[in-house]
Every structure is written in C-alpha cells, then in structure tokens.
Amino acid sequence: MKWTTWIVGAMWVPTMACQGFIAEPSGHADSDGGVRRPGEPPPDPDAQPGARQARLLSAREYGNTVRDLLGVEVSPDLHFGDTSTGFDNANGTPLDENLLSRLWVSAEEAARTYVRETMPTEFPCIATLDDACVDTVLRDLGRRAFRKPLDTTERAAFADFARRMRADADDPRHAAELLVTRLLLSPRFLYRTEVGVRAGDVAVLDPFERASLLSYTLTASMPDEALLADAEADRLDEATVRGHVARLLDTDAGRLQLFELFKQWLRAGELDRMASEPEAFAKLTSPELGVALRDELATFVERVVLEEEATLANVLTRRSVPVDRHTAPLYGLEAEGEAPEDRTIPSHRPGGVLSLASV
C-alpha cells in the first residue's frame, strides 16, 4: 500500500543509524543530585562522564510509554531488550528487521485502539483532520511522544505526511491512525538519547534529555507533564530535580520501578511467575505463598528505601523482615494476618535483603 511506503521511507533509514554509542563523553547529574550547567567543570576531576548514546527503549519502557501516552496496553508477549548486564535496559539491543516488524504491528494496534476509543475525545478535530488539527496533535501528542517539542522541520514533515494520508484515506480517522502509527515508529519515540550539547571537553545533557533520564530511571516511562514543562522552561536546577525525584519515587510507578530494580539486581524475576503461576513451582505449599513471597520483597524494598534510611548498609543488615501468615513459618516465626508486618528474625540468621525467603 502507498501509506506503507511513506512510513518506511520516513522512519527506517534514520532509525537504523540510532544504535549504540556516539563516542564522545557526555555530562551528567552530580553525585549529590545537582545538575551541572554548560561549561561547569565536574566536581571530581577524575570523574569519567558516560558515553554519548542513543538507546532503544526496553520492552518494559516501551509498554509503559505507550500506555502513558495513549492509554493503551501493548501485548504482554512483546519481549525484547539487552539483559547482558543483568538488567533489562542495557544498550545492546539492535533494531533489526524482525524487531522492527513486531514494533510495527504493536504501533498499528495501539494506534487503532487509541483512535477508536480515546483520540476523538482528546482531539475531536480528527473527524476532518485538517491542517490545523494536525498541528494541534503534533504540538500536544507529538510533544509528549518525543519527550520534547517537535522542531519546525519535524512538524512540517509530519504535517505533509498527514496531508498525503488524508488525501488517500476514505475516512480521516484512518489517516489519524497512520499519523499516530508513524509517531510510534519514529526514532524520536523509540530511542532515548543522551547526546547533549558540547561544553568544552564534555557534552552536557539538554533539559529534555535530563527529564527523560530522570523519568525513565525512576518510573521506566516518559516524563509526565510537570517534569516536561520544567524541562521546556529550563527550570531543572538542583532544587527542582530533587523535588521531582521525591515526587516520582512516591508514585505507584516509582515504587514498581524500585521493586523491578531490586528484582533484577537479585535475579529474582521468577517472583512474578510464582504469584501468577504457582502450579509451576512444586515447592510452593500453597498458591497464596507465591503471592506472599513477591509481596515480601516489594514491601522490604519500599520500607528500606522510602520509609527508612536508604543506605546499602540497611539493605544488607536490616534485622526485620516483613512477614504474613504464609511466610512467617519460613523464618520460624508466627503471624496471623495477610498484610506483611515487620518481625525481627532469629539471631542465628543473617540479616538484610539476602536473608529474605523471596530471595
């Protein structure tokens, strides 16, 4: 079909160029959370800034971003990512033809659902999808999809694409589907960049890159409106960054990201399967135990990091563990309720996260 050719021509070549590292080092946040302005030297003369890079979103980041952008859940069967470091967001995932094909199908499905269920409410003008409507979509949806405003050249290219699709489509809403699909297949959506602006011997991340770094690190998803607005106004100074860190950690997405970080660090990824498929684990004495073990680690992480002194020493030596009636017997303890409650473990057992039954 003609529209397929237009999408391929628009996104395939630039996407293939966006793999891996871009050689020069880049600036980054100071160790105490502050953000250096262009030209400021790093506080440690021996510090080694990270490499400039463009990194493909992980499958989890991709799914979260589509959900937060469109309100659409992607298929749970969409798995990809470089886990060579033990974490799912390493920088070694190539966008080959097979993965591109799967992302294409995902983008089409998400765009179709969004245009059918939500977009007519958010953008009623798609009933005609005239030039003014397309501009509105690009300035709002496009800005959030790319985690920064589209520049003049990008808006012109997308507007021309929408105009051509509208001319070929029997229904303007189908042209809207194609426009959303192209946004989801753009390298600007699929990749996170940490390229920055050159400042002497280093490159310092621009405000939008810093916003994405914060958001994907803390929530595994795109910046929300508050963070994106501060990036757009260049307000991401040290105090503002600290405020966003505290705010994002105190969200459901922030708590889940902390849990994911600990699960991957401890190689405890099977906890989710224990909760959803307890029959696959012969040593589980009941289906409830699988859920309880997953909740044990999640509760431990939340209490140690968010409610107590968030130090590595506390993570490794804490003498209390959160138990319920299902997990307490594993420690020789007693508990009656379903909700995890802290209990001091016996003195002969080592403390900390490595003493948890879930680990």
Domain shared by 280 and 146, yes or no: no
Direct distance between the N- and C-terminal alpha carbons of the chain, in angstroms, rounded to an integer: 52
**Beta bridge partners of residue 51, listed in sequence order:** 25
245 part of a folded domain: no
**pLDDT, averaged across the chain:** 86
User: What local confidence, expressed as pLDDT, does residue 194 receive?
Assistant: 87
Q: Which of 33-42, 107-116, 186-195, 329-338 has the lowest mean pLDDT?
A: 33-42
Domain shared by 162 and 75, yes or no: yes
User: What local confidence, expressed as pLDDT, does residue 44 receive?
Assistant: 59
Domain shared by 195 and 90, yes or no: yes
**Last-in-domain residue among 153, 187, 205:** 205
195-254 per-position pLDDT tens digit:
888 878 788 899 999 999 999 999 999 999 999 999 999 999 999 999 999 999 999 999
User: What local confidence, expressed as pLDDT, does residue 247 receive?
Assistant: 97
**Last-in-domain residue among 205, 229, 250:** 205
Helices (H) and strands (E) in the chain, counts: 16, 7
More confident residue, 3 or 207: 207
Asked whether the beta carbons of 323 and 333 are under 8 A apart, the reply is yes
Q: If DSSP codes are grouped into helix, strand and coil, which group holds residue 56?
A: strand
Domain shared by 332 and 197, yes or no: no
Domain shared by 196 and 77, yes or no: yes
Domain shared by 197 and 335, yes or no: no
Q: Is 299 exposed, middle or buried (0-12, 13-18, 19+ CB in 10 A)?
A: buried
Mean pLDDT across 311-318: 93
Domain shared by 61 and 153, yes or no: yes
Neighbours of 283 (CB within 10 A): 6
Q: Cα(141)–Cα(151) distance, rounded to whole angstroms? A: 14
178 conformational bin, left if phi > 0, alpha if psi -120 to 50, beta if neither: alpha
325-342 per-position pLDDT tens digit:
999 999 999 888 899 999
Is 70 exceeded by the pLDDT of residue 173? yes
pLDDT confidence tier of residue 187, bands split at 50, 70 and 90: very high
125 part of a folded domain: yes
pLDDT confidence tier of residue 42, bands split at 50, 70 and 90: low
Q: Which helix (H) or strand (E) holds 143?
A: helix 143-146
295 part of a folded domain: yes
User: What local confidence, expressed as pLDDT, does residue 15 receive?
Assistant: 38
99 part of a folded domain: yes
More confident residue, 5 or 172: 172
- The CA dihedral of 47, 301, 72, 243, to the nearest 10 degrees, is -50
Asked whether the beta carbons of 211 and 147 are under 8 A apart, the reply is yes
Domain shared by 192 and 270, yes or no: no
User: What local confidence, expressed as pLDDT, does residue 347 receive?
Assistant: 84
Is 80 exceeded by the pLDDT of residue 317? yes
Domain shared by 11 and 107, yes or no: yes
In the numeric block, the tokens 């209990």 are attached to 343
Radius of gyration of the chain (CA): 23
133 part of a folded domain: yes
251-267 per-position pLDDT tens digit:
999 999 999 999 999 99
Q: Is the pTM of this model over 0.95?
A: no
41 part of a folded domain: no
Domain shared by 199 and 280, yes or no: no
Per the structure, the count of domains in the chain is: 2
Name the DSSP class of 199: E
Q: Cα(207)–Cα(228) distance, rounded to whole angstroms? A: 9
Angle of helix 172-185 relative to helix 152-168, nearest 10 degrees? Answer: 140
**Last-in-domain residue among 161, 176, 205:** 205
Domain with 90 in it: 2-30+50-205
- The CA dihedral of 326, 330, 333, 335, to the nearest 10 degrees, is -10
Closest residue by Cα to residue 353 from 277, 279, 296, 275: 296
Q: Which of 37-41, 90-94, 165-169, 196-200 has the lowest mean pLDDT?
A: 37-41
227 part of a folded domain: no
User: What local confidence, expressed as pLDDT, does residue 212 receive?
Assistant: 97
Domain shared by 321 and 178, yes or no: no
108 part of a folded domain: yes
Mean pLDDT across 73-85: 83
Closest residue by Cα to residue 57 from 224, 177, 219: 219
Is 50 exceeded by the pLDDT of residue 81? yes
269-311 per-position pLDDT tens digit:
899 999 999 999 988 999 999 999 999 999 999 999 999 988 9
Domain shared by 194 and 295, yes or no: no
Amino acid at position 262, single letter: F
Neighbours of 252 (CB within 10 A): 8
In the numeric block, the tokens 């980041």 are attached to 61
